[in-house]
Amino acid sequence: MVYIGIDLGGTNIAVGAVDEEGRILAECSVKTLAQRPFTEIVKDMAGCVIRVMKQGGFTEKDVHSVGIGIPGVADERGVVLNCANLGWFNEPLAAEMGKYFSIPVFIGNDANVAALAESYAGVSKGCHSSVMITLGTGVGGGIVIDGKAWNGAHGRGGEMGHMTLVPDGVPCTCGNNGCVERYCSATALIRMAKQECQAYPDSLILKKAGGDPERVNAKLVIDAAKEGDAPALRVFNSFVYYLALTINNITAFLDPDVIVLGGGVSHAGKFLLDSVRALLPRYQIFKALPIPRLEIASLGNEAGIIGAAMLGK
């Protein structure tokens, strides 16, 4: 049997046929053109599924299921409740796909899907439980328990970006204050760097940005920290501190086998990993017990297809 995965993004629709082990056997992609009506986008998604089946020489009987990773929330009936990037609210995605083929359709949040991909074919492969934290413009995440993506009882699961980290802290886009996302995202790193540059205008951060605070980005802050720039290191260490607290909170609550860092900021790699790992033991109770392994995500763009495919497994 093969598993088809659809990575539905605001820019591209990427579709692939995946084997039991999470290896991609055939794939294709088209532009999303997100302004189009719901039914037209779904038609293109279904078209890609059929193209991938032809490419791989599969008939409907060979395909176990079609999984779709969306940047939003769906319910168990396959209705997309909220997908702001595409302007979808209460759209019957599974039912609409059913007009093109009669293969079971499963829908999951893209962060959950990335976590699932890592647990089938990436750095958490073979683990009973894992949590992925995606450190991007915002902070998302996914939980995998016993080989299944855990979406929660009401589709709210894995939203660690909106756990409160600092009561009455920095206002968040969600309407609350002090969310994890305001301290552990690329956006947070940039905000803290800009503040630091105001106080220390000779920082390497500002030099790397050509003197323009508006050009400061996460990579540039981390690069300056790697080179030992004191203001950049203060920003980076603050980021690492908040991330370590978040990881400790996940450990104290769920204690998974592995915690995986993904998203743009995770490209800082070993520099980030070593810094966070060094802080973790300090925050653990039961010092004698082992703690979850902390790793950087190993799958790149393919995670979206692989994880979506594994939704039906």
**List of residues contacting a second copy (CB under 8 A):** 73, 81-82, 127-129, 143, 145, 150-160, 162-167, 174-176, 241-242, 245, 248-257, 282-286, 288-292
Say how many CA atoms lie within 13 Å of 45 toward its Cβ: 34
* List of E strands, the chain: 2-8, 12-18, 24-31, 63-70, 73-74, 80-82, 105-109, 129-135, 139-145, 148-150, 258-262, 293-296
Distance from C-alpha of 28 to C-alpha of 44, rounded to nearest angstrom:
11
25 vs 166, beta carbon nearer a second copy? 166
157 vs 213, beta carbon nearer a second copy? 157
Least separation in angstroms between residue 106's CB and a second copy is 18
Least separation in angstroms between residue 243's CB and a second copy is 12
CA-wise closest residue to 6 among 52, 73, 64: 52
Least separation in angstroms between residue 272's CB and a second copy is 19
29 vs 275, beta carbon nearer a second copy? 275
127 vs 306, beta carbon nearer a second copy? 127
Least separation in angstroms between residue 87's CB and a second copy is 15
DSSP 302: T
Least separation in angstroms between residue 139's CB and a second copy is 11
Distance from C-alpha of 80 to C-alpha of 107, rounded to nearest angstrom:
8
Give the phi and the psi of residue 103 in degrees, each rounded to 5.
-115, 140
28 vs 145, beta carbon nearer a second copy? 145
112 vs 203, beta carbon nearer a second copy? 112
Copy the structure tokens of residue 70. Answer: 């969306």
Give the torsion sign (CA, 156, 267, 237, 219): negative
Residue 196 parent element (H or E): helix 186-199
- Owner of token pair 């220390």: 200
160 vs 299, beta carbon nearer a second copy? 160
19 vs 257, beta carbon nearer a second copy? 257
99 vs 156, beta carbon nearer a second copy? 156
Least separation in angstroms between residue 181's CB and a second copy is 10
Contact predicate 138/121, CB 8 Å: no
Pairing of strands 2-8, 63-70: parallel
Contact predicate 261/135, CB 8 Å: yes
Least separation in angstroms between residue 240's CB and a second copy is 13
Least separation in angstroms between residue 120's CB and a second copy is 18
Copy the structure tokens of residue 64. Answer: 């176990």
Dihedral (C-alpha) 201, 202, 206, 207: value to the nearest 10 degrees?
Answer: 150
Least separation in angstroms between residue 149's CB and a second copy is 12
